[in-house]
A = this chain, B = another copy of it.
Amino acid sequence: MSVFLVDSLAQSDPDSLNASANSLAEWELATIELFVHAAQLIGIPKSMGQIYGLLFCSEEPLPMDAIIERLAISKGSASQGLKTLRQIGAVQTVYQHGDRRDHYKAELGLRRLFSGFIANQMGPHLDNGVRRLEHIAELTGQLENEARDVAEERLKILRNWHNKTSKLLPLVQKIL
């Protein structure tokens, strides 16, 4: 009798386990891993991939406690990770009636995910690149003779690359 009760509370078949507050189904684990790998591919910390993955799987928005508990990560990581995910628009906060805690849900639209990522992670670097190009052009202008010819040819290549790549982003966004 008591054995049965303990069993049903602590651990039983995978389905009811899934319903309990602090464990992950296999498909969730696999999906979270998918996002962890994707995150690392684009240079985003593992913990952020985990958090996004968990929220992606969850039908209802989750409070931070649940994230911390289910992923077994620290409060600091969770807070930091959620902050950044919010900044790039990959998660949103949802206000749940009768609960003072913030609840978080994943953005599921690929286009939004992509443009948020670009705007916040790549964008600054690309702008920076433009400034650098201009600087190189200045330095090139100060050269003389053959040295200048070489430098100007390279500069032309860089400008060409910049043209092509800047046409790229709008197009990608159209497709996603």
A128 at the interface (CB under 8 A from B): yes
- Provide the A142-160 mask, 1 if CB < 8 A to any CB of B, else 0: 1111010011001001101
Interface size on A, as a range, is: 35 or more
A132 and B175 contacting across the interface, CB-CB below 8 Å: no
Measuring CB to CB, which residues of chain A are less than 8 angstroms from any residue of chain B?
5, 15, 18, 25-27, 30-31, 33-34, 37-38, 41-43, 56-57, 59, 108, 110, 122, 125, 128-129, 132-133, 135-136, 139-140, 142-145, 147, 150-151, 154, 157-158, 160-161, 164-165, 167-168, 171-172, 175-176
B154 and A37 contacting across the interface, CB-CB below 8 Å: no
- Can you list 14 A-B pairs with a CB-CB distance of less than 8 A? A5-B139, A15-B143, A15-B144, A15-B147, A18-B147, A25-B147, A25-B151, A27-B151, A57-B154, A108-B157, A110-B160, A110-B165, A164-B175, A171-B171
Chain B residues closer than 8 Å to A30, beta-carbon distance: 132, 135-136, 139
A56 and B147 contacting across the interface, CB-CB below 8 Å: no
B56 and A154 contacting across the interface, CB-CB below 8 Å: yes
A27 and B140 contacting across the interface, CB-CB below 8 Å: yes
Chain B nearest CB from A124 CB (Å) reads 10
A161 to B109 CA separation, bound complex (whole angstroms): 9
Chain B nearest CB from A7 CB (Å) reads 13
Are A132 and B172 CB-contacts (below 8 A) given A25-B147, A26-B139, A164-B110? no
* Choice from B18, B31, B43 contacting A43 with Cβ under 8 Å: B43
Extra A-B contacts (17), CB below 8 Å, given A57-B151, A168-B175:
A5-B139, A15-B147, A26-B139, A27-B136, A27-B140, A33-B132, A34-B129, A34-B158, A41-B122, A42-B43, A57-B150, A57-B154, A110-B160, A110-B161, A110-B165, A164-B175, A171-B171
